Structure 1
Amino acid sequence: MTVKHLSVDYNKVNEQGTFSPGDTLSGRVTVVTSGGTKVQCFLVKAKGKAKVTWHKQEGQATRTHEDKRKYFHFEHIFIQDKNKGDGSEIIRSGRNVYPFSFVIPNTDMPSSYEGKWGKITYSLQAQLTQSIWLVHKTKTEFPFLTKSEFPFASKSEMIIIGLKEQQYATRISFYGSAKVVMNVTSEKLGVKQGEAMVVSVEVLNDSARTVTPTFYLCEKQTFAAQSERIVHTNETLFGTGDPIAAETSQSTTKVLSIRPQLHPSFFNCCMMRLEYRLKVRLDGPRDAEIKLPLVILLGSTKPLQQKPKRSIWFKNLTI
């Protein structure tokens, strides 16, 4: 086997290392050989796709729900055997570098994302075919960010106006042996990654015990395939407010910070979406909770973490 190394790399277009619709994706495929190597086909592919898969037990059988969508698929062929299989095309011995360039379509596409039962990926894959039995492949993913300012609102839905300024409040009352009323007000509906928001809680505690508000960030992932839906939820503790003593009323304010690594809300994928809620729970004579809608917006991004590039080194094994 004369192919010793195969790798694919790309050039960054900004400090964050991300790509968006309309950007030029360029790079190089590197091949190292120990001698002249006959090749049937040698190419690099650029792909953008979304895929959803989950399994559901139905009686004794397991049913698989799966769907996928392709956003783009380009190929750049470096070498192709004109005689269709005789391997007459040759890569010379040593290190060989092949440049490539693609223009990402300037259309609305969702950002890179990986959830419980689905993911949205953008990748480069190099493939070197020597014969039907000998095919070398290597792949690397590149981070992609949508250009949509509001990827949570499709064109058919109402666009939220004044997202950054809008306040939201609600009230809940419940009765047991006594009355407890909780009023929650969120400073704004839309919060950027890494930004802080102020949440105010007013509690009228007519019960005989102390109650304490607790704040949670609720994440909801929805996946769709074959006319079926599945939901995955997750709760993260945001913080705890001040205790409210029995037979008192008190207002408390909490500053909650959105983690910079938190993925923004999105709705611009037909197979999956990501939503958030702010939940305030009050432990007391009868536990109660209030959920407020929360939209996480893309903030001033830092360089995104990406999956490590996968290069292939081939070694001769002596048995």
Structure 2
Amino acid sequence: MSPIKDLSLTYEALNEENTVSQGDTITGAVSFTLTKQTKVKLLLVKAKGDARVDWSEGTGDDRRSYSAHRRYFKVKEYVFAENAKVGTVLPQGTHCFRFRLQIPQGDMPASFKGLHGKIVYVLEAKLSRSWRLPSVLQTELNFVSKSFSRYGQALCPLSGLVDKKVGVLSKGQVKMSATVDREVYCPGDTVSVVAQICNSSSKTMKPKFSLQQNVEFRASGSSNLCSKNLCKIVGDIIPPNSEETISCQVKIPFDVTPTLHDCEIISVDCYLKVYLDISFAVDPEVAFRLIIVPSSHAALLPGDAVGPFPAGAVGGPSYSDFPPPAFPIAPYPVPTGPGPYGYPAPDPNSHANMTSGYNTQWPQQAPPYGFPPAAVWSSSVQPQAPTAPPLFQQETEPPTYTSLFPPSRGTGSNQKS
């Protein structure tokens, strides 16, 4: 029977979330009780971080297994060093030994556990005796990568555009542009989405929003992709030959896994897809890759980034396969140059000219689209947003001079001087 009893390993929490990161120093203690005087070979404490993936494909003779391993760091401290000849004799009773370890700097991914792999950081104590199996105790460390700080500037809106024919069984085409308010979010945040749809076809369609998380495992040149739908919202039917502007709010679940890009064999991404469900046709789609950071990194998101669009932002890069739209999607600016058709711009403060029969009042700047609190909209209750310029404007002939300045009713010969 082993004389070692009640072996325990504890460490001091560095913060309220009890997490560790690159460069942190871990301090703690190893304690145990000896039922009699015992010769101990060594007492070792170490910390290490490893990523592993493992899965199989196929059946029978065609079954193949894939596995990979990455070691990120391993640091250790000998509480008392090995002495093969004499050893260290400890008396009966309770013993407590303190230790101090520092996690090295470098790019290392956060802790993660998935279907075919995991990234685990552990703290381990090992008490060895000659000619005996060692006593080993492990505790997992909740590791949060500091590499999330590089996402602090990714706060511009993302936009995408798709333009395609409906299909061989129907005539016409559909155009859709979509915008999300920013790129970086924390679990529990809300993504504000605006979609502008021009249905120039003979088919009805439904707008849909889908939040999806993809986890990819890689080994030996192969990959295994696991997808999970986090949220799906379906809108009302869009009739043929119509235009709609739709706003929606999609909430990111609190238990979502943060983005993982620092591991060679495991990656985690979150995508928001805006698409149109069209019967008997390939659905047009715009996809945005969102960056999810842990709640402990919420300070990366400045206060002025809260809201549908940050101040001064018009459009940012999109992870969609389609090019960005050629027209503004963010708030519309007030024109300052010549007016429509090359005429001088009227004074924005002027009033309607009732004598000439036309209005010289210049339209004021339209505020950005509002976002209704509900996650699903209804065609009977439209979002409370001002009317924006049409998504796809038709060409129009400029007005004639006489239509703007009609001639006097009398002729020149009959007028009095």
The normalised TM-score by structure 1 is 0.80
Larger Rg: 2
Q: Cα gap change, 1:281/1:33 in structure 2, threshold over 3 Å: closer, same or farther?
A: farther
Letter in 1 for 2:174: V
Q: Distance in 1 between matches of 2:15 and 2:43?
A: 29
2:40 aligns to what?
Answer: 39
Q: Structure 1 residues 187, 136: closer, same or farther in 2, change over 3 A?
A: same
1:275 aligns with 2:276: no
Q: Give 2:160's aligned amino acid.
A: A
Secondary structure of residue in 1 paired with 2:162: strand
Partner of 1:124: 123
1:306 matched residue in structure 2: none
**Is the 2:11–2:29 contact (alpha carbons within 8 Å) kept by the matching residues of 1?**
yes
2:157 corresponds in structure 1 to 166
1:151/1:265 contact within 8 Å kept: no
**1:88-119 deviation digits (Å, cap 9, x = unpaired):** 42333333221111111122211112233222
Partner of residue 100, structure 2: 101
Q: Report the equivalent of 1:190.
A: 183
Task: Return 5+ residue gaps in structure 1 as ranges.
Answer: 153-160, 303-319
Q: Which has the higher contact order (CA 8 A, sep 6+)?
A: 1
Q: Give the alignment's Cα RMSD to 1 decimal.
A: 2.9
1:147 counterpart = 2:179: no
Sort the Cα spacing of 1:5 and 1:226 in 2 relative to 1 into closer, same or farther, 3 A. Answer: same
Residue 157 of structure 1 is matched in structure 2 by none
Paired-residue identity, %: 27
Letter in 1 for 2:42: C
Please give the residue correspondences for 1:1-319 in structure 2 after superposition, counting only pairs within 5 Å: 1-57=2-58, 60=61, 62-84=63-85, 88-149=87-148, 163-173=154-164, 174-175=166-167, 176-179=169-172, 181=174, 183-193=176-186, 194-205=188-199, 211-245=205-239, 248-285=242-279, 286=281, 288-301=283-296
Q: Distance in 2 between matches of 1:81 and 1:198?
A: 61
Q: CA deviation at 1:292?
A: 1.4
Higher strand share: 1
2:185, 2:239 → 1: CA distance? 34
Check whether the contact 1:151–1:268 (CA below 8 A) recurs between aligned residues: no
8 Å CA contact 1:26, 1:102 repeated in 2? yes
Whether the aligned pair in 2 keeps the contact of 1:32 and 1:94 (CA below 8 Å) is yes
- Counterpart AA for 2:170: S
Matched residues in 1 for 2:163 and 2:92: separation? 75
Please state how far the C-alpha of 1:3 moved relative to its aligned partner: 1.8
Aligned partner letter, 2:285: I
Q: Distance in 1 between matches of 2:172 and 2:21?
A: 53
User: Conserved in 1, the CA contact under 8 Å of 2:272 and 2:290?
Assistant: no
TM-score, normalized by length of structure 2? Answer: 0.62
Contact 1:50 1:68 in 2 (8 A): yes
- Cα distance change of structure 1 residues 80 and 162 upon mapping to structure 2, 3 Å threshold: closer
Where structure 2 has 5 or more consecutive residues not aligned to the other structure, the ranges are 298-417
Q: Secondary structure at the match of 1:105?
A: coil
Matched-pair contact (CA < 8 Å) for 2:40–2:127: yes
SS in structure 2 opposite 1:295? strand
Alignment length (residue pairs): 293
Q: CA deviation at 1:122?
A: 1.2
Instruction: Measure, in 2, the Cα distance between the counterparts of 1:132 and 1:63.
Output: 40
1:265-307 Cα deviation digits (max 9, x unpaired): 23222222222221234333236151413232425428xxxxx
1:14: Cα distance to partner? Answer: 1.6
Q: Hey, what's the Cα distance between the residues in 2 that align with 1:31 and 1:252?
A: 64
